[in-house]
Structure 1
């Protein structure tokens, strides 16, 4: 799986929100804490808000917070918002001795999907994830 910088930034921003105490977190604090360019972050936060993963509040006491508990948001949720649903090429099979490679690619896709849909941001911020 290839992860774009945009997706990496989104995952880091949501991790920051998941670790924050209750209440709005200013975008500037997220940008500084995760070393994310502010312009990039603003667009990402807008995308996540439009998708319903985070809420926002304008004003001097405003900021962003998760729309649901961190244990209910998976890595796959964020990746789907930023990248869209992954599409994998169909392998109709390989000729001869390379035939089993199609099964390897299929197993790899299934493992990747399962891992990303099982890991939550609660696990990420509490360091309860181990591969």
Structure 2
């Protein structure tokens, strides 16, 4: 598994939104600045997260972004899948698109699926609420 810059920034943006949950909408500029995300990345990342049902947006002077669900109901896996599709790729292909026809390679599909399942077990267990709580405990 490779964590791309887009995926890393998406998780950071979602942490930023979770940190401001309950305060109303937060602007993309404030999210970018608060989470040290380049301004060039933030519009497309936030649009993808909104389309993926993880953020809700509102236009206008008091507009911005808020979490679409409580932070405890959004896993890191949800964010990664929204941004990059599958968690694991083989030669840039999702596991569903990899085809090993030769008998000598037949077990590779099982191996790569086990890798995917192991990664999913970790990223699906960790929620935004967990990350925010860990961040807050580091400040103490």
Q: What TM-score does the superposition give when structure 2 sets the normalisation length?
A: 0.77
Equivalent in the alignment of 1:37: 38
- Partner of 1:98 in structure 2? none
- Maintained 8 Å contact 2:57/2:66: yes
Deviation at 1:4, TM superposition (A): 0.5
2:129 to 118, 122, 125: 122
TM-score computed with the length of structure 1 as normaliser: 0.81
Alignment partner of 1:61: what SS?
coil
Q: Name stretches of at least 5 consecutive residues in structure 1 with no aligned partner.
A: 95-101
Assess if the C-alpha contact under 8 Å between 2:21 and 2:67 holds in 1: no
CA contact (8 A) 2:25 2:63 kept: yes
Aligned-CA RMSD value = 2.0
Moved more, 81-90 or 52-61: 81-90
CA deviation map 1:78-127 (0-9, x unaligned): 11111002334665248xxxxxxx76x65543221101111100000001
Q: How many residues align?
A: 120
Shift of 1:30: 0.7
Q: Residue 65 of structure 1: SS of its match in structure 2?
A: strand
